Chains A and B, each alone.
Chain A
Amino acid sequence: MSVSEAQLAQQATAPPLVRIAPPKGWFAIDLREAWNYRELLYFFVWRDIKVRYKQTFIGASWAVLQPLLTMAVFCLFFGKLAHFDSHGLPYPIFYYAALLPWTYFSTALQNASSVVVDQQQVITKVYFPRVVLPFSAVISPLVDFGIALAMIVVMLGYYRMVPTLAMLWLPVFLLLAILTALGMGLWLSALNALYRDVRYVVPFLVQFWLFASPVAYSSSIVPARWRWLYGLNPMAGVIEGFRWSLSGHGQPPGAMMVASAAAVLVVAFGGLVYYHAMEGTIADVV
């Protein structure tokens, strides 16, 4: 008790005031409050990671195995059989460099879109800034991403490819991928709380998005003057960016990147606003 009394005495000097009132305003996310809950964010991420590989036989090896097996399939069909253009890159590098951000993105997007519904037990019983949930959902797959990233270092070594300064751009492309997943995740998770149809839509969305992104092919097949439009798919810029920065070959995705970044900011900001607008009613409907 003595510890708590000391705490109380400490806090008694300025008791925090919480005002509870009907929701109003279209954008009033209390970022400082969200920051105060960063520890909870950490715990949500930590739980996700812990739970993911419990009772699996090969554990975190899945993080490498998933992109690696997909790469093998792509190399065989699109590479060896269909002879897609790979900018002169070895097919394994060409596909693995693209699958790295793609695997992260598709996992993060699916996580984020179901996070509100999955956590409804907690949402209806405890208060915390709800925006913590989609953030945690896109952060936890980063661990898998990190593990898978280590693999490409091995592959680059195998092909005797020396990293260039372009590698320094990698965090920028990763950030873009995170923001894309977060922006879409904010929209989808809030919509999912209202309409459970979203659960069925997301797998299709991910599949279509895969074809709309230069994962299996190179964006060079898109005519140059339309490439900026193609760049409105943020993952197009991200994936080409990954290829360029990891291999050091080819051109940085210039105009495409600008379009991608702009698209991401619009989606993410809109998502934040919509998610926030939903926050007040989520506990009543999930």
Chain B
Amino acid sequence: MSQTAIHVEGISKLYRLGERQRYTGLRHLLEDAVRAPLRWLRPRREGGETKKGAQEIWALQDVSFDVQPGEVVGLIGRNGAGKSTLLKILSRVAKPTRGYAEIYGRVGSLLEVGTGFHQELTGRENVYLNGAVLGMGKKEIARKFDEIVAFAEVENFIDTPLKHYSTGMMMRLAFAVAAHIEPEILLVDEVLAVGDIAFQKKCLGKMDEVAKGGRTIVFVSHQMNQIRRLCPRAIWVDRGGIRRDGPAAEIVGEYEAAMTSGETSESRNGTGVKAQFLRWHLVGPEGAQTNLLADDGPVAVRFLVKVNQAFRNAVHGIGLYSSDHQLIWGTAVNDLDFELGRIEMVHRLPTLPLKPGAYWWRVTLWDEEGLVDDLQCVPEMLVVTKPATHYRDEWAGVLNIPSEFSLLEVSGNDRSVGDPLDRVHIAARDDSTHPHRIVDGGCQSDVATTAVRSAKWSGDVPEERDPR
């Protein structure tokens, strides 16, 4: 008999919005205590009576599916479709309101990297703590410790408190611990999106390895290329239910097609009612709609909005994120009035010099009553510029800007060096306005020395040891 690894049967989850605010105030507490003594001591059970002001949202409704042992399944869908809620229930962080799930095997869940990390503790101590939180035993961690540290490439800093780590190092250490839990069933929520591109590749490689090791993986991602690469099967979660379930290539294609065609779909947080972002595109050289950016601009990004109810004084926000969820650029526009119909929002940027890779746009629309819509754009914007980069990816950042470098000779009166001469001219000009300053060789050489030092320093300040 072939036994399933995960069996999900009719799972539903009810959340109440606005409930928390109602409960946290002392005034409400007293009111409730007066109105119904002892009721306030009672935990709020889902499915109980609803009080006014608490908006009920079914984050998941009647979700059923099976995952066989060794399967790698990608969960895709819009923000707020219910993917993360589903993963939270499977990892037992949240309880379902209805339905049940059965899981056969040791579960490791990775809803976040670095859960339980403590800034004051050293890297070593945090590996143990994080490992324990993720379900590893002390012996197991001790056995894998060297492997974890080597994977994270933080050998020299392992006994340094975490607060002195760079974000990149911390993320690498966190993922390294996570990558070494070896459960039979692994639940992963968009955590591969950490660190620089080189490290991401390493993580994907590790995931591949884990998958080939015969373990079951359920994996949430907004990066369709990751899903295509890692998962033979994909489940498309939409409005709290399963919309499609099948081969990843097919499902991802349909999903992307639906997103680019600007299909309407409401999400669980109540957005998309008054207006909804339908799709986005860049305008290519021949006016073609595209998600490819082949040069560094100028760029025009367009977002199609469908307005269902007119509203006024709206605020529109836009953000551009790198694949590791770092905000690269963002802005907001105030005082917008919307009439019924379809509107295209256009943002023009004179230049957008980005390193090659996947980026994504996020657009929001707010009015006086709150969030109207929020879209994490699908598909990603693929930048295919020619990289002007150092061979080590982690020094590259996101900006693709060619730079010039020169070394300056340091000598008192050497006029053969071009650059310090310019500085002398500037200094001399300055001098005319500051008669008390004396320009001599010494001053000039100071300038030059500083220049050389800073140039050397910037090329020489390794954040950590070069692993190569």
A binding-site residues for B, Cβ under 8 Å = 1, 3-5, 7-8, 11, 15-23, 39-40, 42-43, 46-47, 50-51, 54-55, 121-128, 190-191, 194-197, 274, 277-278, 280-281, 283-285
Contact = CB atoms under 8 A, between A and B. Distances in A.
Given A21-B95, A43-B133, A122-B115, 10 more contacts: A19-B102, A43-B128, A121-B115, A126-B111, A194-B23, A194-B24, A195-B24, A197-B26, A283-B88, A285-B20
Contacts of B97: 22
B292 interface: no
Contact of A16 (B105, B132, B134): B105
B330 interface: no
Contacts of B208: none
A122 B129 CA distance: 12
Contact of B103 (A7, A11, A20): A20
Given A39-B132, A43-B128, A18 B103 contact: yes
B246 interface: no
- Of residues A20, A43, A194, A285, which shows the largest number of chain B Cβ atoms within 10 Å of its Cβ? A20
Given A39-B137, A51-B121, A122-B115, A283 B102 contact: no
Contacts of A125: 93, 111-112, 115
B98 A127 contact: no
Contacts of A50: 120-121, 125
B96 interface: yes
A191 B120 CA distance: 28
B95 A17 contact: no
Contact of B90 (A5, A17, A20, A190): A20
Contact of B184 (A11, A43, A127): A11
B210 to A, nearest CB: 9
B29 interface: yes
B192 to A, nearest CB: 16
Nearest to B91: A127
Contact of A21 (B46, B93, B100, B120): B100
Contact of A22 (B95, B112, B115): B95
- Of residues A1, A55, A196, A284, which shows the largest number of chain B Cβ atoms within 10 Å of its Cβ? A284
Contacts of A20: 89-90, 92, 95-96, 100-103
Contacts of B135: 126, 128
A43 B41 contact: no
B415 interface: no
Contacts of A280: 43, 95
A23 B215 CA distance: 29
- Of residues B3, B25, B93, which shows the largest number of chain A Cβ atoms within 10 Å of its Cβ? B93
A4 B182 contact: yes
A17 B45 contact: no
- Of residues A50, A121, A194, A277, which shows the largest number of chain B Cβ atoms within 10 Å of its Cβ? A194
Contacts of A278: 43
B43 A47 contact: no
A142 B248 CA distance: 54
B166 to A, nearest CB: 20
A271 B435 CA distance: 80
Contacts of B456: none
B107 A284 contact: no
17 contacts: A1-B209, A8-B184, A16-B104, A17-B104, A20-B101, A21-B96, A22-B99, A23-B45, A47-B129, A54-B121, A122-B133, A124-B111, A126-B109, A195-B23, A197-B24, A197-B29, A277-B43
Contact of A18 (B102, B132, B143): B102
A5 B213 contact: yes
B95 A43 contact: no
B184 A15 contact: yes
B94 interface: yes
B100 A15 contact: no
B213 A195 contact: no
B96 A284 contact: no
Interface residues of B, number: 60
Nearest to A3: B143
Contacts of B25: 197
Contacts of A54: 120-121, 161
Given A15-B3, A195-B24, A274-B41, A127 B95 contact: no
B98 A22 contact: yes
Contacts of B116: 121-122, 126
Nearest to B137: A39
B15 interface: yes
Nearest to A8: B184
B375 to A, nearest CB: 25
A40 B132 contact: yes
A95 B103 CA distance: 56
B348 interface: no
Nearest to B126: A47
A18 B107 contact: yes
A55 B120 contact: yes
B328 to A, nearest CB: 26
A39 B131 CA distance: 11
A196 B28 CA distance: 12
Contacts of A128: 133, 135
Contact of B15 (A1, A22, A284): A284
Contact of A281 (B44, B88, B137, B161): B44
A11 to B, nearest CB: 7
Contacts of A8: 182, 184, 214-215
Given A124-B93, A127-B91, A17 B102 contact: yes
Nearest 10 interchain pairs by C-beta: A127-B92, A43-B132, A21-B100, A20-B101, A4-B182, A15-B104, A18-B103, A54-B120, A125-B111, A125-B115
B106 interface: yes
B138 interface: yes
A59 to B, nearest CB: 13
Contact of B213 (A4, A123, A285): A4
B118 interface: yes
Contacts of A19: 100-103
B28 to A, nearest CB: 9
B121 A47 contact: yes
B209 to A, nearest CB: 8
Interface in B102-157: 102-107, 109, 111-112, 115-116, 118, 120-121, 125, 128-129, 132-135, 137-138, 143
A196 B29 CA distance: 11
B260 to A, nearest CB: 33
Contacts of B209: 1
